[in-house]
Amino acid sequence: MNDSEFAVLAEAALKRIEAGLEASGADLDFAQVSAGVLEIELADGSKIIVNRHAAAQEMWVAARSGGFHFRWDGVAWRDTRGGGELIADLSALLSAQAGEEVDLRT
């Protein structure tokens, strides 16, 4: 994939995450703090950061439980270690860190 294809896919993933956060009804705030960086702040003040990493052509997630890298496999963003899908894994990370169910799959 070239850089422009990656940019389109990464931006679509961030928009999908934002839509899922809006629809979730969870007690959290979020904002794109810079191009390609989405900061999610939970009720307890902790944060989860989702950002695109153009050099590696990956989506990166930083959560209390660790850092995760997701690479496009032609169908979905997949965790480079566990193989999980970005939206499902992020939902689980948010739920664990927030202490409430957060489902981003809309």
pLDDT of 57-78, one tens digit each?
A: 999 999 999 999 999 999 999 9
- Rounded Cα distance between 95 and 3, Å, is 32
| Mean pLDDT score of the chain | 94
pLDDT of 1-30, one tens digit each?
A: 899 999 999 999 999 999 999 999 889 999
Contact yes or no for 87/20 (Cβ under 8 A): yes
Superfamily (CATH) of domain 3-98: Frataxin/CyaY (3.30.920.10)
**Residue found under tokens 């390609």:** 36
Q: Where are the alpha helices (DSSP H) in 1-106?
A: 3-24, 86-98
Q: Which residues contact 3 (CB under 8 A, 6 or more apart)?
A: 54
Q: Report domain extents, the chain.
A: 3-98
Give the global pTM: 0.93
- Rounded Cα distance between 106 and 95, Å, is 15
Going by pLDDT thresholds of 50, 70 and 90, the confidence category of residue 105 is confident
In eight-state DSSP terms, residue 25 is -
